[in-house]
Chain A
Amino acid sequence: MTGNPAPSSGPIPGSDIVLTFRGVDKTFRAGGRTVRALHGVNLEARSGQVTGLVGPDGAGKTTLMRITAGLLVPDAGAVTVLGLDAAHDSLAVQAALGYMPQRFGLYEDLTVQENLDLYARLQGVPKDERAARYGELTRMTGLGPFTTRFAGHLSGGMKQKLGLACTLIRPPRLLLLDEPTVGVDPLSRRELWTIVYRLVREQGMSVLLSTAYLDEAERCDEVILIHEGEVLGRGPPQRFTAPLAGRTYAVSVPKSLKKRTVHERLADAPGVVDAVIQGEHVRLVMAAHITPDLQRLLPGVRDVSIEPIAPRFEDSFIDTLRGGAGAEGASVDATPAPTGAAPAGSAGHDTVIEVHDLQRRFGDFYAVRNLTFEVHRGEVFGLLGANGAGKSTTFRMLCGLLPPSGGELRVAGADLRTAGADARARIGYMSQKFSLYGNLSVRENLEFFAGAYGLGGRRRRERIAWALSGFDLAPVREAVSSELPLGFQQRLALACALMHEPRILFLDEPTSGIDPVARRGFWRRINALVEQGVTVLVTTHSMEEAEYCDRLMLIAAGEILALGTPSEIKARARAPGHTHPSMEDAFIALIEEHERQRDAAA
C-alpha cells in the first residue's frame, strides 16, 4: 500500500478562493420524473472562512456538497475545488478535503478508538503521528473518556463530535460539513460551532457548512442562501439583514386579547410582511418604507405597545421569498372549524391529558423517566428536546402505541391502550414521516383515512370536500402524493389527521424539513384550530417553533428540565448582563444546571 498521499495541489497563487461553482445544473431521475436539484448555481467560497450554505430541506444543499466532494458529477457547469476539477480529479480532491456526511459516517459497531484508527489508516496518517493526533482531537471534542465506547452507544452530540474528529484526522484544507447540527441538543450545537471557529482561526482551515437552521446563518462569515436549487443571495450575513433595518418590531400582547388573536390580526394587516409569535410578543416585519401604525394594525385595541428590534436572518429569507410584498401565500382564509370541538369560551382549565410519574425502559436504558405533567383544553403544549431525548417515546405512550413501564396516564379521561374506539376517535395523530400512502393520490388518501375513521355517506363527502378546499388541495387532488412538494404532503397529512374532527391533536415534529413560509401557514392553521378549542400536543427540536406553544416541557435524556410558559422558561436563564436570553440560551443554561446537579449528586 502506498503511504501518505500528499494533497496534490499547492496553494493557488494570487487567489484565496477554495471553491467555485460556475453555472452548475444537476437533475435526478426518480421513478418516471426528473427532479431538478440544482439550477444555474454560481458561487465561491473563500479560504480561512466559514461559508454557510443555508436553506430549507430539499433546497439542494446535500447535492451541492456531494458535487464538491466529487461524489456526484454535475450535468452542466464547472466545479473547481482547491484549484482542481471536482469531476475529473475527484480522487485528488478527496485527498485534500474532509467531508462529514449528514449521518456522520460512523461505524456504530466499532468503538470510538476503532473508528479513529480506521479513518487514520484510510487517510494515510503515519503510525508515529497518530497518538499525538488522537490526543489533540479527543481533547478538542471531549471524547477522551469514551474511547472504548461503541459509537452506536454515544449520544447524538457525541456522535457528531466523533464524526468531526474522524474527518479531521488528517487536517484537510477544506472541510465540508453537511448539516452537522441537525437533531443534536443546543449545547452540542454551540460546542460544534466553537470547534469550527477554532479550526478556522487557529489553523486557517476553510469550512463549508450547510444548515437548515436560519439562525445559524448569522454565525457564518459568508452566507450562500439556497432555495429550490437556486442561489437566492450571497454575502456576509449583515448584507442580508441590513435592508431590514428599521422594519422589524415587537408588539406586546394586551391583557384583553390572546396572543393568537393578536397574531392572526397582525398577520393579515396591511403592510405586514411577516408576523410570528415570539414568547409574549408578536414579531413583525414590515414592508419597506412603511411605518407601523398601531391604530391601523390593531384598530380599537388599547394597552398595546410596539418597539423596534434588531432584524434577524430569517426575516430576510421570508422577505426575499415573499418579494417584499404583502403577506400573500401565508394567509389562511378561515380554516373550517371542526364542528365537534367545544367552543373556545368554555376552555377554562379542564385537564385533557394527565401524566403522572411516567416511565419507559428499554432493557436497562430509561428512554423516559419521572414524567409528570398536565395539558389543559385549548392549549398548545410543546415537548422540546434533542433527538433521542424521549419525545417520540412519550408521544407513543400517550397515543397508546407503546405500553409504559411505570406510572399513570390519562388522555381525555381514558388510557388509550385499553380504551375503546370512541376514545381513540377523539384524538388525531400526525407522525414525523406524515404516514401517507405515497402511491395513492391526494383524494385516495383522504378517502382512505375517512374510511379508516368510519366516516360514511354524506359526512364523508363533506369532510373530503372540506379538506380539499380548506387545505388548498383541490388543484392537486388527483396527483400522486409522494410526488408533491413536502409542504403539500404536510398539509395533506394534517387534513387526514383532522378528518374525524378530533378534539386532541398530536403532532410529532410536524414542520421538520418544511421551509419557513410553509411553516408559518401550518401554524396559522393550528392556531385557528386551537381558537376553536382543540388541544394540541407538539414535539419539536426547533427553538423557534417552541415559541408558538402556550406551555413547554423541555426534556433531555428522558427527564424534565423545565416546564412552563416560554417566557417563564426564558426567565430562568436571565442573568446580569444577559437580560433577553433566547430559548436556546435558556435550554443550554438548563442542561448545564441539570448536569451540575447530577454531578453533585453523584
Chain B
Amino acid sequence: MRLEGLVRKEFLQILRDPSSIAIAFLLPVVLLLIFGYGVSLDAKHVPVALVVDQPSTDTASFTGAFYHSRYFAPLSLPDMARATEALMQGRVQAIVRLRANFARRLRRPHGAPIQLIVNGVDANSARLIQGYVEGVWIGWLGRQARARGVALRIPVQLDPRVWFNSELRSRNYLVPGLIAVIMTLIGALLTALVMAREWERGTMEALMVTPVAMREVLLGKLIPYFILGMGGMALSVAMAVWLFHVPLRGSLAVLFLCAALFLLAALGMGLLISIIAKNQFVAGQTAIIATFLPAFILSGFVFDIGSMPQAVQGITYLVAARYFVFILQTVFLAGDLWHVIIPNALALIVMAAIFLGLARRHARKRLE
C-alpha cells in the first residue's frame, strides 16, 4: 500500500511536470531527429573545386565524372588563385587540378599527374574525400580503357563487400547507439533530478518521518522511471525502424531485455547520485558529467573505442553504455549474435547490481 502510494504520486508528478515529459519524450525525439537527419558522418555532396588549366575532351570527360558522382558537388573555377581563395573561405573542401599537360601526358608511359589538395582540418573527412577522389579516378580510367577497347592493366583488383551496413550509412549505427544515450538521460539524469527536487522542497524530510522504509522510497522512484525509460526505448526503436529505416535484424525480445538491464544500471547511477547531491543543480551537473557525457563519448556510439589510446580504452570498461551500445549495434545490424550479446549483457547485470546495491546501501533514513 505504501509503495503503491509512492508510485501513484510519482506518476501524477511526471504527468504534471512539463520538464519530466520533455526529458522523457521530447528530448529523445529531438536527439533522434538531429542524429538521424542532421548529423552524418558520411561525406556526401562534398564541395570540390575543379581547376582545368587547358580544357580538352579528356579533361571534360574527367570532370564530368565528378559531376556524375553523388559524393561531390563540383565547382569549376578558372584558376588556382580563385580555388585557393575558395578553400580558404571554406566554400570548397578540396581542389582537383588538371595541369596544362594533362591531355598530352595522358597517353605516355608515366601517365598524367592530377593534383589533389584537401582541407585536412577534419582528418576523417579529409581521408574520406581522398578516398572518394581516388574512386572517381579509378572509375574514370576503367571507362576510358573500355571505350578504347583495351583492358585496364591493374595486376591486383580489390573487390570489396561491406557486411552488416552494406550501404555504409552512418545513420544505421548512430541511431541504435543513440538509444543508449536517451536511456541514460531518463534513467540517470531525470531520476537524480527528481530525487534532488524532493530534498530541495522538503518533501523528502516529510516522507522519511512516515513509516515508509528506504527500500520503498527507492522502489517508488525505480518503478515509475523504469516504465518511463522503457517507454522512451519503445519510442526510439519505433522511430529507428519506421522513420529512419534502420534494419532490425535481431529480435525485439533480446533488444528489450538488454535495454531493461541497462536501464537498471542507469537508474542505479541516478539514485546513487541523488544520495550524494541534494540539490537539483549539483545533481544535474553530476549526472551529466558522470553518466551522460561518458555515454556520449566513451561508449563507442560516435567515436570508435578501438582507435582510442589504451588508457582511455580501459576507462570505457567502466561505462555501462559501452556494453549496451555494442549490443544495440549488433542486434540492429547483425542479429542475435549470442557470443556478442551474452558477455555484454553479463557486464550490464554486474553494473546494475553494483549501482543498485550501492544506492541501497548508502540510502539512509537520515538527513546527514
Contact = CB atoms under 8 A, between A and B. Distances in A.
Contact of B203 (A91, A106, A124): A106
A88 to B, nearest CB: 13
Contacts of B122: none
Given A1-B2, A114-B12, A108 B368 contact: no
Contact of A122 (B16, B210, B366): B210
Contact of B201 (A1, A91, A97, A103): A103
Interface in B1-21: 1-6, 8-9, 12-13, 16-17
B82 to A, nearest CB: 56
Contacts of A91: 211, 213, 365
B3 A1 contact: yes
Interface string A65-103: 010011111000000000000000011001101111111
B218 to A, nearest CB: 15
A28 B211 CA distance: 26
Contact of A110 (B2, B9, B205, B209): B9
A100 B208 CA distance: 11
A94 B17 contact: no
Contacts of B6: 118, 121-122
B210 A101 contact: no
A420 interface: no
A109 B14 CA distance: 10
A2 to B, nearest CB: 8
A105 B207 contact: yes
A1 B1 contact: yes
Interface string B1-44: 11111101100110011000000000000000000000000000
A125 B331 CA distance: 48
A105 B365 contact: no
A122 B9 CA distance: 11
Given A71-B365, A71-B367, A107-B203, A122 B5 contact: yes
B212 interface: yes
A118 B209 contact: no
Nearest to A102: B202
Contact of B208 (A71, A95, A163, A167): A71
B206 interface: yes
Given A72-B366, A105-B202, A105-B203, A123 B210 contact: yes
Contact of B209 (A3, A97, A107, A117): A97
A563 to B, nearest CB: 36
Contacts of A107: 9, 13, 203
Given A73-B366, A90-B365, A109-B13, A122 B203 contact: no
Nearest to A123: B210
Nearest to A1: B1
Contacts of A103: 201-202
A117 B4 CA distance: 11
A121 B213 CA distance: 13
A66 B205 CA distance: 9
A119 interface: yes
Interface size class, chain B: 20 to 34
A148 to B, nearest CB: 13
Contacts of A114: 9, 12
Contacts of B3: 1
Among A66, A106, A107, max chain B CB count under 10 A is at A107
A5 interface: yes
Contact of A101 (B205, B213, B365): B205
Contacts of B367: 66, 71-72
Contacts of A105: 202-203, 205-207
A103 B199 CA distance: 11
A108 B207 contact: no
Interface string A111-141: 0001001111111100000000000000000
Nearest to B13: A109
A158 to B, nearest CB: 17
A166 B211 CA distance: 13
Interface in B177-229: 201-203, 205-213
B283 to A, nearest CB: 18
Interface size class, chain A: 35 or more
B206 A99 contact: yes
Contacts of B210: 94, 119, 122-123
A307 B1 CA distance: 63
A124 B211 contact: yes
Contact of B206 (A70, A101, A120): A101
Contacts of A73: 366, 368
Among B5, B211, B213, B365, max chain A CB count under 10 A is at B211
A70 B365 contact: yes
A1 B12 CA distance: 21
B209 A71 contact: yes
Nearest to B7: A121
A462 to B, nearest CB: 41
A144 to B, nearest CB: 21
B208 A124 contact: no
A371 B2 CA distance: 49
Among B3, B209, B366, max chain A CB count under 10 A is at B209
Contact of A99 (B9, B201, B209, B213): B209
Contacts of B209: 69-71, 94, 97-99, 101
Nearest to B214: A91
A163 B208 CA distance: 15
A145 to B, nearest CB: 21
Contacts of B12: 109-110, 114
B210 to A, nearest CB: 4
Contact of A121 (B1, B16, B368): B1
Contacts of A119: 5, 210
A5 B211 contact: yes
A118 B5 contact: yes
Nearest to B211: A95
Nearest to A150: B16
Contacts of A98: 209
A69 B8 CA distance: 26
Contact of A1 (B4, B203, B365, B368): B4
A119 to B, nearest CB: 7
A134 B2 CA distance: 18
Nearest to B3: A1
Contacts of A72: 366-368
A1 B365 CA distance: 19
A572 B365 CA distance: 51
A573 to B, nearest CB: 35
Contacts of B201: 103, 108
Interface of A: 1-3, 5, 28, 66, 69-73, 90-91, 94-95, 97-110, 114, 117-124, 163, 166-167
6 contacts: A69-B209, A70-B209, A99-B209, A101-B202, A109-B17, A118-B6
Given A98-B209, A106-B203, A110-B9, 9 more contacts: A69-B208, A73-B366, A94-B208, A99-B206, A100-B206, A105-B206, A108-B201, A121-B8, A124-B211
Interface of B: 1-6, 8-9, 12-13, 16-17, 201-203, 205-213, 365-368
In the A-B complex, the 8 residue pairs with the smallest Cβ-Cβ separation, listed nearest first, are A105-B206, A121-B5, A103-B202, A99-B209, A95-B211, A122-B210, A101-B205, A109-B16
